[in-house]
Homo-oligomer: A and B are copies of this chain.
Amino acid sequence: MGESPLIIICVRYFIEPSMTIGMANEVILLDYWPSPFAARVRIALAEKGIEYECKEEDLANKSPLLMKMNPIHHKVPVLIHNGRPICESEIIIQYIDDVWKVESPLLPSDSYLKAKARFWTSFINTKVHESGRKVWMSKGVDQETGKEELIEWCKLLEVELGDKPYFGGENFGFVDIALVPFYNWFNFFKNFADFNMEAECPKLVKWGNRCMERESVSKSLPNSDQMYAAFLEFKKMLNM
């Protein structure tokens, strides 16, 4: 699978001091490179230009640090800020946006738009994630159901996007960060199932390509070949 995206990410943040702010802050990310949830946090940190140390987890043999920092769920991502852990990607992103307010706001300031952004993120966490799993984890009828659902959810997201460049309007933000790691799945789903998102949701694909043009996104997401290889490994691990 070549050079681990983790290495690339870590190197980038350690050698590009011009991107960093808040030097007094110690920021550690307990990461796992194929995880779409961890990818969200990498993107948010990159958008804010926050320097951080990346600790890659082996999910088959979780580190004592992960067990200590997320004692309830033992899951990545965990952001450790000055020794204190924050768990769950959407909570971490809100925390990042709250603490590093000045650089690139991720959530809208308007209360109603903020609620809408949270709603769509929750929709992605449940509907898009679950149907996506059906596509790569199952076969036959279940896989077909997953595909149909996923296309339905994407069409709903396309309606929500409308003619805006990003979900929040002119600026890349919370919902874009939540969705783009899953959008990245679609590129290798054709290896598991007959899947043509471009034909089904052309506007959403344009949005995805627009996001991928951002360095914060392209450098935080693994490419399709890496993801496909990783997912084949998961299937093997899960004896599927």
Contact = CB atoms under 8 A, between A and B. Distances in A.
A152 B119 CA distance: 30
Closest 9 CB pairs of A and B: A98-B111, A95-B115, A91-B118, A86-B115, A99-B111, A91-B115, A95-B111, A91-B119, A87-B119
- Interface of A, secondary structure class, is helix
A77 to B, nearest CB: 13
A84 interface: yes
A72 interface: yes
Interface residues of A, number: 21
Contact of A91 (B86, B95, B99, B122): B122
A114 B95 CA distance: 8
B72 A156 contact: yes
B88 A119 contact: yes
A72 B115 contact: no
Contact of A123 (B72, B84, B112, B123): B72
Contacts of A123: 72
Nearest to A121: B91
B156 A122 contact: no
